[in-house]
Amino acid sequence: MTQQSPVPTWLQTLRAERATLLQEAETLTRDGGDLEGEQADRFDAIERALATNATQLDDAEARSTRMAEISGMLERGELKIEHGSDVGPDFVPQSFRGDPWSSSERMEISDRARRCLDAVARDAVVPGVERACERVERAFTGLDGEIDGDEMSRWVATTSDPNYMRAIVKLFRDPQLGHTEFNKDELAAYQRSKHLQRAMSTSAAAGGYLIPFALDPSILLTSDGSLNQVRQAARTVVTTSDRWHGVSSAGVVASWDAEASEVSDDSPTLSQPTITTHRLTGFVPISLEAAMDEVNVAEEVAKLIMASFDELEGRAFVVGAGDASNQPVGVLTALSGVTASTVNTTTADTFSLVDIYKLDGSLPARYRQRASWLANRAIYNLSRQFDTSGGAALWTQLQADVPGQLLGSTTLESEVMAASPVGTNAKFMVLGSFSDAYTVVDRIGSTIEFIPHLFGASGRPTGQRGWFAFKRVGADVVNAGALRQLNGQ
C-alpha cells in the first residue's frame, strides 16, 4: 500500500486562506442586500484576493504533485540530480526551494530583486531606468504607497532577468517561431513570467507577455525629456492592485500651551483618497523589413510604445474626466468648482502682469518652495511681453536648453491647456506643489501582444506587423490646497 505524502505547510496555508476569504464573503452577503461603503470596498478586496489565491493555489497544487513525483523517482533511483548551472545566483530559480511562501524565501526574493535592480541600473538600455529602479525599490520595501512587496519583488526579479530579456528579443524578431530558439534558461525565465502574469492578472486569462523591466513604460515614463511634464512634477507610486489607497492630512495644528498645563489635542484630520487605475492601450505598427533588419527592435518598439503612452497621459493628467470615462482625473478636472483653489483675473478675459503676482501670492507659503507653473506655451509667451525692460525680474534662465523659471518657480508646459485667457471659465494657468497635490498611480506589469499581419482597406496585407501594448494607470488631486488655478472668468 502506497503511503500518501503529507500535505506541505505552504499548501495548507493557501487552502486555509481561501476558506477564510470565502467565509468572510459569505458573512458580508448573508443579508442579501446591496453592499455599500466600506463593506463594498471590502467585498471587492476579497474578490481580488480570491482571484490571486486561486492562481497561487493552482500553481501550488501542481508544484506539490510534481514534488511528490520527483520524490518518488528519487526514492526508486529513477532520477539523479546534476549539480551546477550557468544560471546566475541573482535570479529566481526554476522552482522555489522548500516553502515558497515562507518568510525566509520572501527575504531571499527581495534580496534578489534588489540585486536585479542594481544590475539593470548599471546596464541600462534606455534613459531613466536608474530613477525608475529607485522608485520601484521604495515600493517593495514599503516606503511608498500600499504595496504587496512580495509580488513586487517577484515581478522585478522575473522581468529583469537577462535570460527573460533575451527571450523577449527573440519573440520581438520572430513572434511566431522565436520560442523555438529559446535555450533552457530562457525557456525557464519565460515560463516564470507566465506564472507571474497569471497571478497578477485581474482577468481569467492573461494574453501576451510581460514587458521586460528595462523597457516597461509603467516605470520609465518619469524619465527626463518626457513631454508629459505633469507626471514628472507629481508624486508617482506603483501598486499591484486595481486601486491605490493613500492617507492624506492638512497637517498637525500646533499650539502654544502654558507651563504645566495639559497639551491641547493637536491630532490631524486624516482622509483616505482612493485612486482607481485604468487601462491605457497603445498600438505600434512595424514593417517586416524593420523587424528583420533592426538590431535593437525590442528597444525601438518599447520607445514607440512609451511615446504613445506619454502623449495620452499628458492630456489625461490635465483634463482627464475620471472614472466615468475610464481615465485618470486631470488637474483641471479635479480643481473644477473648488473655490478655495480658484483665482480670478483682475479683469475678465484679460491676462495682465498683476494676475501673475496675484496667483503667486494666493499660494500658501509652505507650498512655494516646491511650486511649479503649468500653462500652455502661448500663455508663457504672453507673460514674457509684460516686462520688456527686465525691471520686474519676472523671468530667469531664458536659455533654450534650460527650463524657464517664472518668479523663481519652474515652468511646466501643457498643450491641452487654454492658449488664451478669453472664454467662459478659461482656466489657463496653474501654480502649486504638484508633488504634494497630485498623485499618479502605476499598476506594475505592462503587457504586450503580437498581431502577425496588418491589413489595408481592401483586406490585403500591408507588409506590417503590430504590437498591442497596455498598462494601467490612475491619477487624481489628493490635496487641492497645494494648487491654485487662474481663471479668466
* Residues with Cβ within 8 Å of residue 265, at least 6 apart in sequence: none
Task: Tell me the pLDDT band of 480, cut-offs 50, 70 and 90.
Answer: very high
Amino acid sitting at position 42: R
Task: Tell me the pLDDT band of 448, cut-offs 50, 70 and 90.
Answer: confident
Highest mean pLDDT among 117-126, 181-190, 252-261, 386-395: 181-190
All three cell numbers of 84, joined, read 551546477
Q: Do residues 50 and 18 make contact, with C-beta atoms less than 8 angstroms apart?
A: yes
pTM above 0.85, yes or no: no
Task: Tell me the pLDDT band of 333, cut-offs 50, 70 and 90.
Answer: very high
Task: Tell me the pLDDT band of 378, cut-offs 50, 70 and 90.
Answer: very high
| Residue 321: strand, helix, or coil | strand
Residue 24 has, within 13 A of its CA and on its CB side, a CA count of 16
Q: In what order do the strands lie in the sheet with 372-375?
A: 342-344, 483-487, 427-432, 372-375, 409-413, 405-406, 395-396
DSSP string, 373-415: EEE-HHHHHHHHTT-SSSSS--EE---TTS--EETTEEEEE-T
Q: Do residues 230 and 137 make contact, with C-beta atoms less than 8 angstroms apart?
A: no
CA dihedral angle for residue 407, residue 412, residue 418, residue 419, rounded to 10 degrees:
70
Task: Tell me the pLDDT band of 293, cut-offs 50, 70 and 90.
Answer: low
The tens digit of pLDDT for each residue in 188-207 reads 888 888 877 777 765 544 56
Residue whose C-alpha cell is 492573461: 206
Round to whole Å and give the CA distance between 145 and 143. Answer: 7
pLDDT of amino acid 91: 37
Distances (CA, A) of 447 to 271, 283, 367: 33, 12, 37
Percent of the chain past pLDDT 70, that is, above it, reads 71
Q: Angle formed by the axes of helices 103-122 and 149-159, to 10°?
A: 40
Mean pLDDT for 88-116 is 48
Round to whole Å and give the CA distance between 132 and 121. Answer: 9
> Which has more confidence, 253 or 428?
428
Distances (CA, A) of 488 to 296, 344, 378, 414, 422: 49, 6, 15, 17, 6
Distances (CA, A) of 237 to 18, 100, 219, 269, 469: 29, 27, 9, 23, 21
* Residues with Cβ within 8 Å of residue 192, at least 6 apart in sequence: 92, 94, 158, 161, 164
Angle at the Cα of 108 (from 85 to 9), degrees rounded to 5? 100
Examine the pLDDT at 399 and tell me if it is beyond 50: no
pLDDT of amino acid 110: 65
CA dihedral angle for residue 339, residue 341, residue 342, residue 346, rounded to 10 degrees:
120
Closest residue by Cα to residue 156 from 187, 196, 100: 196
> Which has more confidence, 95 or 269?
269
